Amino acid sequence: MRKTVITLATVAVVGIGTIFGGVPVKTNAESISKLKGNQSKIQEQRSDVHSGINAANDKISDLQNQQADVKSEMKRLDYAITDATNKINDKNAKIEKTKGEVTKLQAEVEVIKERIKKRNVLLKDRVRSYQENGGMVNYIDVLMGSDSFSDFVDRANAVATIMQADQDILKQHEADKKELEEKQAQVQNDLASLQTMLADLQKMNQQLTAQKAEKDKLLATLVDKEQDEQEHMMDLKEQEEILSAQEAAIQKAIKLAQEEQARAAAAAAAAAKNNSSSSSSSNSGGVASSSAVPGVSSGYWTQPAVGRFTSGFGGRGSEFHYGVDVANHTSVPIVAAADGVVIRSYYSSSYGNCIFISHSINGQVYTTVYAHMSSRIVGNGAVVKKGQQIGVMGNTGASEGQHLHFELHRGPWTQDKRNAINPVGIVPLP
């Protein structure tokens, strides 16, 4: 089965503006403008995905029509195979019958040969007698030696009978020889016909084997195409779900940014009036305090999990690894690497329990991905703080051993994952 093409590392990037902490009104306005720009891009991407879904539906429909045609052809082949099998059985019966006839003819030929052999001996004896006694001269002596006319007639009749017998022997001999030749020719023809039948039988077997192989090939091709299209459709639907979640996250981010902008403007006005400045709020709310959680780093980013760095960003075997892996033999908390809004929290067949979070840092939009978790504790649209626990390390999805698969993307989400970047040097890691 084809592996799901959606790579969580390439989650659609949506900025939430600089909505965490005080920021200049102008900067916040720029962030809102960028958010709206990203929203337009996501809407365009959703339109493209919808077109892809429609195209996939058309392909699936066409595939189903092809499947019906193939099944119809398979039915025809079944009838043809049944007919050919019946003919093979019929020819097998005829072959057995012909073999019996050949055996019978061979016995008759042997009888004729024996008669010819005996007759040849008789004729040779008669010829020898002719040679020894002078042939026809002896018949004249027999006639001339008669004592009376009655004796002459008797002798003449005897001579005629003997001569007729000789002629009958010769005629029978010729007839037997002719019959022998005809029966021998018939045996040869029957054997030739038998060989032809055998050749036809072998040809039919070859045709049946070829037809069966072709049917199996058609079935395998049909199954593969249907499976590919169904998986492609699932990929497109998953993309649509992610894009929809991102658009919802953008709407929320815009609203939060607008509220922050209003608060910043009010604070600026109050500061100008009171000639005083306000301090930033603490960043510790919701941050996990377990000893298994890395300490929250200063700056924008913090380490997402405690463990061993086991795999980096880049080529890995025949594939490209679009993130880094952090492994641990115990179940440890997974925390948000920076302030942000949860784009999507769900289970993926390839990435298991995973969460995508969008961040806006110094006007730059980033997206982080946390995959293979055993559980998730934040949902879609949640606003999270840097260091706040979002899940627990696990071994779900297409994973080999307990670890966190962490990805960082800069810029808008693209299906070709061109915005994925190496988090090393940007996000603190083990």
The letter for the amino acid at 187 is V
Pairing of strands 352-361, 389-392: unpaired
Instruction: Say if residue 99's pLDDT is above 70.
Output: yes
pLDDT tens per residue across span 233-245: 777 777 777 777 7
Give the integer Cα–Cα distance in Å for 36 and 253. Answer: 10
- Tell which wins on pLDDT, 365 or 163: 365
Phi, psi (degrees; rounded to nearest 5) at 305 = -165, 155
Q: Which residue has the higher pLDDT, 5 or 345?
A: 345
**Could you report the per-residue pLDDT of 182-210, keeping only the tens digit for each?**
777 777 787 778 778 778 877 877 887 78
Amino acid at 219: L
The residues, any chain, with a CB within 8 Å of residue 215's CB and separated by 6 or more, are 74, 77
User: What is the CATH number that goes with domain 8-21+280-421?
Assistant: 2.70.70.10
Domain limits of the chain?
A: 8-21+280-421, 69-224
Task: Judge whether residue 341 has pLDDT over 80.
Answer: yes
